[in-house]
Chain A
Amino acid sequence: MKKIDSMPSILDMIQKYDSISIIGMNKNVGKTTTLNHILREARGRISLGLTSIGRDGEKIDTVTGTEKPKIYIKSGTIIATAKQCLLNSDITREILKTTGFNTPMGEIIICRALSDGYVDLSGPSVNSYMMEICSELKRFGSKLVIVDGALNRKTFASPLITNATILSTGAALSKSMLKVIEETSHTVKLLSLENEEDNEVLKLANEVLRRGRVGIIRRDNSIRMMDVITALGASKEIVEILDKNISYVVIKGAVSDKLLEDIMTSTNQYKGVTFLVEDGTKIFLTRETLYKFKKQGGIIKTINKVNIVCVTSNPKSPYGYEFDKHKFLDGLRNKLNIPVFDVIGGA
């Protein structure tokens, strides 16, 4: 995508959703800066709810020893954070509710900021708790809930929890700009994999997800569940069952390189069969494997769509080097067909 002169702001783009997550490709890629950017843009325009996946927003980066940006929220924001972190925050706060969800940093508390100030966010690290917390934040009046996430916990970007996602990338990922661009592009590709459109198939696929880990849908729309404990180790069973009458294989949980490699080396029958995965956050494939699979006629689609609204880029690395911010931004924009923002350099 080429740079458009009158590009809408990030806030404009996310405002239509009621919850978004921000996930970073790595540490120090400017995730918190992105968040602060949105918080600043939202001031006086929309009431926000804010939480994070587990602990984040430490003052000092534990790896590089550099000072990390802190999250600065405005008065009126509703936040969900662990008690110990809440008491470390410097806002004047009204305690709204205790949730009964415990974390190593204490119980998750929901409170309203009565002043601007810095907060220390540490939300739940269990998916079901996160869903509950998000709906609590909405219940207390947040029009937009933002979940501060992490790529190694990318399942939190699952559409089941938040309905849109921002991906942060930056120089901290690698010294090679080309590599950063390629990795980011690959992650975006995985997350925004094509979604199955056929409603009838989606209905059957959801039935499989309800009933177990792996199942197949035949051409006559009949379902058969497979007796496996995890999708990761199910290749043998999948290979054995694949034949001309099968149109879909539905997989609940993570899809790994090994699973696809094992299938590709054992049979030809996967060609023309569509592999359906819960959503893009469950796919853990390298570029090579995905390419090989598709090249040989494999089809992989998702059941629920992850909406990647935009990518934010940070040309600076705390490890002491930086990219040319225009080259980096242009490189990303050329590779990706979603908007890219430089919230650090301000482009």
Chain B
Amino acid sequence: MKFLDKQQRDQIGFSFIMDKLGITTSYGLEERKNIKTFKTSEINKLKHELNSLENIIKSMRAHVEEYNQIGRIFCKFKDIRNSIKRCSESQTLDEVELYEIKYFSILVTKLKSVLDKLQLNIEEVHLNSVDKIILLLDPQKRGISTFYVYDEYSKTLKCIRKNKKQKEKEIFTAKSEGIASELKQQRLDLVIEEEEEELRIRKELTLQISKETEIIKQNIKSIGRLDFLIAKANLSIDYNGIRPEICSDIKINFIEAFNPEIKDILEKSKKVFTPVSIDLFNGTTIITGANMGGKSVTLKTIVLNLLLGQMGFFVFAKKAQFPILDFIHFVSDDMQSISKGLSTFGAEIIKLKEVVECVKIENGFIALDEFARGTNPKEGYFLVKSLSKYLTKFKSVSLISTHYDGVAQDNMEHYQVTGLKNVDFNTLKYKIDLNKTHSVEIIQEHMEYKLEKVSKENKVPKDALNIAVLLGLEKEIVDIAKSLYNEEE
């Protein structure tokens, strides 16, 4: 999977987004099912898709009532694709199928009249006129959706039915059971004649409709596209999405990006999501920071928004810019292969091999979440360091989160989670002393999840030691640790 497997899509909150899409018609669901990322060569197509989305959003804001109407029409659409397929294979349609095609055509006409008013100017949701079909299936020109094999189709049919009606009257008024059953037999003969004539007419109707199947298929596609676009637009409106800028060189910029699934979860427990702002270039970028500092959330947020952007969605940020990517890989220690019996580390290495093969031939995005966390710290450190160094030479963008210090080199970008850096240590200690039972929560509250760029002069933060002090670790241990820190410096 060049753009994450199912389980990874669940993890980063992509499946959450797909579930949030309020799609009504089976045609729209088909569009969602066939959702694809755009290829580098399809930049114009992607831009076109984003244009369409932008148009719809603008239009939806200005025409609320019309879109409610569209929603109500969508609810009535049934899946007639099977009948259309049968029709184009010249299998005779039954009355129910003919009814469904008529009803579908009436709905299309209604939808078309609403769309015409909106003047959307989006070619892929254009609807063809189906007046020909309606005329064919509504010979009485009554404009209602019900259907039967109308007398108007044939004089013979009309005549048979007239005779049949007469027989039925006679049956009702028959003097004896014997006479009635004889009349019923005569009626049966007329029923057979009627059915034969109806079949002939249905064959003719099927033939006429089969000439229109291309038009119907195009309409089905347009309805699906429109349903899907409206769903995407609603999602974007609900979460304040924005149009990403698609650039042609390899650089990624997010200002205040967020992840709707994680944001929703946090908000339910009355917590705030810290938006992610970051600049990424080809080569390696390192994110460091204490445990629980939100590094994984940062990675998931970036991966999610990049993936959505590749698929022609609006993204969740104040501003976003990125190119079309050939792949998106996400290596984390909760990957699927772990459940297949590989150790965490083993699974990471297997996945990494695949990633490296991709990097050699194409340009994409790689996120590594705490790579080699599961192995011993010294070896882990070396592995992360070598991997970071190796990935700098490619055009792909690699983002590596780690809690090992000293991985970042001069030719890499380096971010860290701000953590407790800007907190007045004594005030915080005082607060904790006042309310010792909630010390962990108090620290979490003061933890700053924002990313900041690290320059060479910046000191390595001692958040681990600080937290230990705040939580009241034995002073003697802290003192020994402090002396060790000093030796290092």
A residues contacting B by CB (< 8 A) are 43, 74-75, 83, 86-87, 90, 92-98, 100, 107, 109, 112, 114-117
Other-chain contact of B78, A93, A94, A98, A117 (Cβ < 8 Å)? A98
> Which chain B residues lie closer than 8 Å to A107 at the CB level?
96
Cβ–Cβ contact A100 & B161, under 8 A: no
Cβ–Cβ contact B78 & A95, under 8 A: no
> Which chain A residues lie closer than 8 Å to B96 at the CB level?
83, 86-87, 95, 98, 107, 109
Query: Quick one: CB contact mask for B57-95 with A, threshold 8 Å, 1 for yes?
Result: 000000000000000000000100000000000000011
> Which chain B residues lie closer than 8 Å to A112 at the CB level?
146
Q: Which residue of B lies closest to A40 (CB)?
A: B172
Cβ–Cβ contact B100 & A98, under 8 A: yes
> Which chain B residues lie closer than 8 Å to A97 at the CB level?
146
Cβ–Cβ contact B168 & A94, under 8 A: no
Cβ–Cβ contact B78 & A114, under 8 A: no
Chain B: interface secondary structure? helix
Min distance, Cβ A71 to any Cβ of chain B, angstroms: 14
Q: Which residue of B lies closest to A100 (CB)?
A: B78
Report the separation of the CA atoms of residues A75 and B167 in the bound assembly, to the nearest whole angstrom: 13
Min distance, Cβ B310 to any Cβ of chain A, angstroms: 36
> Which chain A residues lie closer than 8 Å to B172 at the CB level?
43, 74, 116
B residues contacting A by CB (< 8 A) are 78, 94-96, 98-100, 146-149, 161, 164-165, 168, 171-172, 188, 191, 194-195
Query: Considering the complex of A and B, which 7 residue pairs feature the smallest CB-CB distances, nearest first?
Result: A95-B99, A116-B168, A94-B148, A90-B191, A96-B146, A95-B147, A94-B146
> Which chain A residues lie closer than 8 Å to B146 at the CB level?
94-97, 112
Report the separation of the CA atoms of residues A109 and B165 in the bound assembly, to the nearest whole angstrom: 24
Report the separation of the CA atoms of residues A89 and B70 in the bound assembly, to the nearest whole angstrom: 37
Known: A93-B95, A94-B147. A115 touches B78 (CB 8 A): no
Instruction: Kindly list 7 other residue pairs between chains A and B, CB separation below 8 angstroms, not including A90-B191, A97-B146, A98-B100.
Output: A43-B172, A75-B165, A86-B96, A95-B96, A95-B146, A96-B146, A98-B78
Q: Which residue of A lies closest to B150 (CB)?
A: A94
> Which chain B residues lie closer than 8 Å to A75 at the CB level?
165, 168
Report the separation of the CA atoms of residues A74 and B172 in the bound assembly, to the nearest whole angstrom: 10
Report the separation of the CA atoms of residues A94 and B99 in the bound assembly, to the nearest whole angstrom: 9
Known: A92-B148, A98-B78, A98-B99. A115 touches B165 (CB 8 A): yes
- Which of A74, A75, A107, A116 has most B Cβ within 10 Å? A116
Report the separation of the CA atoms of residues A92 and B158 in the bound assembly, to the nearest whole angstrom: 12
Q: Which residue of B lies closest to A93 (CB)?
A: B148
> Which chain A residues lie closer than 8 Å to B191 at the CB level?
90, 117
Min distance, Cβ B188 to any Cβ of chain A, angstroms: 8
> Which chain A residues lie closer than 8 Å to B94 at the CB level?
83, 87
Known: A94-B148, A95-B146. A116 touches B161 (CB 8 A): no
Q: Which residue of A lies closest to B188 (CB)?
A: A90
Sample of 21 A–B contacts (CB below 8 Å):
A75-B165, A75-B168, A83-B94, A83-B96, A87-B94, A87-B96, A92-B161, A94-B147, A95-B99, A95-B147, A98-B99, A98-B100, A107-B96, A112-B146, A115-B161, A115-B165, A115-B168, A116-B168, A116-B171, A117-B168, A117-B191
Report the separation of the CA atoms of residues A95 and B172 in the bound assembly, to the nearest whole angstrom: 25
Other-chain contact of B148, A43, A87, A98, A114 (Cβ < 8 Å)? A114
> Which chain A residues lie closer than 8 Å to B148 at the CB level?
92-95, 114
Report the separation of the CA atoms of residues A302 and B112 in the bound assembly, to the nearest whole angstrom: 54
Cβ–Cβ contact A92 & B95, under 8 A: no
> Which chain B residues lie closer than 8 Å to A109 at the CB level?
96
Cβ–Cβ contact A115 & B164, under 8 A: yes
Cβ–Cβ contact B99 & A92, under 8 A: no
Report the separation of the CA atoms of residues A3 and B94 in the bound assembly, to the nearest whole angstrom: 51
Min distance, Cβ A132 to any Cβ of chain B, angstroms: 15
Q: Which residue of A lies closest to B147 (CB)?
A: A95
Other-chain contact of B95, A74, A95, A116 (Cβ < 8 Å)? A95
Min distance, Cβ B128 to any Cβ of chain A, angstroms: 24
Min distance, Cβ B227 to any Cβ of chain A, angstroms: 17
Report the separation of the CA atoms of residues A79 and B153 in the bound assembly, to the nearest whole angstrom: 24
- Which of B100, B147, B148 has most A Cβ within 10 Å? B148
> Which chain A residues lie closer than 8 Å to B171 at the CB level?
116
Q: Which residue of B lies closest to A44 (CB)?
A: B172
Report the separation of the CA atoms of residues A345 and B329 in the bound assembly, to the nearest whole angstrom: 81
Report the separation of the CA atoms of residues A116 and B172 in the bound assembly, to the nearest whole angstrom: 10
> Which chain B residues lie closer than 8 Å to A98 at the CB level?
78, 96, 99-100
Report the separation of the CA atoms of residues A109 and B97 in the bound assembly, to the nearest whole angstrom: 11
Report the separation of the CA atoms of residues A98 and B82 in the bound assembly, to the nearest whole angstrom: 15
- Which of B100, B146, B194 has most A Cβ within 10 Å? B146
Q: Which residue of A lies closest to B148 (CB)?
A: A94
> Which chain B residues lie closer than 8 Å to A90 at the CB level?
188, 191, 195
Q: Which residue of B lies closest to A91 (CB)?
A: B191
Other-chain contact of A92, B78, B100, B194 (Cβ < 8 Å)? B194
Report the separation of the CA atoms of residues A75 and B171 in the bound assembly, to the nearest whole angstrom: 13
Report the separation of the CA atoms of residues A94 and B150 in the bound assembly, to the nearest whole angstrom: 9
Report the separation of the CA atoms of residues A75 and B166 in the bound assembly, to the nearest whole angstrom: 12
Report the separation of the CA atoms of residues A193 and B147 in the bound assembly, to the nearest whole angstrom: 46
Min distance, Cβ A49 to any Cβ of chain B, angstroms: 15
Q: Which residue of A lies closest to B157 (CB)?
A: A92
> Which chain A residues lie closer than 8 Å to B98 at the CB level?
95
Min distance, Cβ A244 to any Cβ of chain B, angstroms: 46
Min distance, Cβ B410 to any Cβ of chain A, angstroms: 65
Q: Which residue of B lies closest to A140 (CB)?
A: B146
Min distance, Cβ A314 to any Cβ of chain B, angstroms: 17
Report the separation of the CA atoms of residues A293 and B188 in the bound assembly, to the nearest whole angstrom: 56
Report the separation of the CA atoms of residues A109 and B147 in the bound assembly, to the nearest whole angstrom: 12
> Which chain B residues lie closer than 8 Å to A86 at the CB level?
96
Min distance, Cβ A74 to any Cβ of chain B, angstroms: 8
> Which chain A residues lie closer than 8 Å to B99 at the CB level?
95, 98
Q: Which residue of A lies closest to B103 (CB)?
A: A98
Q: Which residue of A lies closest to B95 (CB)?
A: A95
Report the separation of the CA atoms of residues A117 and B168 in the bound assembly, to the nearest whole angstrom: 8
Q: Which residue of B lies closest to A94 (CB)?
A: B148
- Which of A95, A96, A97, A114 has most B Cβ within 10 Å? A95
> Which chain B residues lie closer than 8 Å to A95 at the CB level?
95-96, 98-99, 146-148
Min distance, Cβ B181 to any Cβ of chain A, angstroms: 12
Min distance, Cβ B332 to any Cβ of chain A, angstroms: 41
Report the separation of the CA atoms of residues A90 and B172 in the bound assembly, to the nearest whole angstrom: 17
Report the separation of the CA atoms of residues A83 and B297 in the bound assembly, to the nearest whole angstrom: 53
Report the separation of the CA atoms of residues A116 and B191 in the bound assembly, to the nearest whole angstrom: 11
Min distance, Cβ A267 to any Cβ of chain B, angstroms: 46
Report the separation of the CA atoms of residues A117 and B161 in the bound assembly, to the nearest whole angstrom: 12
Min distance, Cβ B236 to any Cβ of chain A, angstroms: 30
> Which chain A residues lie closer than 8 Å to B147 at the CB level?
94-95
Report the separation of the CA atoms of residues A304 and B396 in the bound assembly, to the nearest whole angstrom: 71
Min distance, Cβ A107 to any Cβ of chain B, angstroms: 8
Min distance, Cβ B177 to any Cβ of chain A, angstroms: 12
Report the separation of the CA atoms of residues A109 and B149 in the bound assembly, to the nearest whole angstrom: 16
Report the separation of the CA atoms of residues A107 and B100 in the bound assembly, to the nearest whole angstrom: 12
Min distance, Cβ B2 to any Cβ of chain A, angstroms: 38
Report the separation of the CA atoms of residues A112 and B147 in the bound assembly, to the nearest whole angstrom: 10
> Which chain A residues lie closer than 8 Å to B164 at the CB level?
92, 115
Report the separation of the CA atoms of residues A210 and B191 in the bound assembly, to the nearest whole angstrom: 51
Q: Which residue of A lies closest to B164 (CB)?
A: A115
Min distance, Cβ B395 to any Cβ of chain A, angstroms: 52
> Which chain A residues lie closer than 8 Å to B78 at the CB level?
98, 100
Report the separation of the CA atoms of residues A93 and B146 in the bound assembly, to the nearest whole angstrom: 10
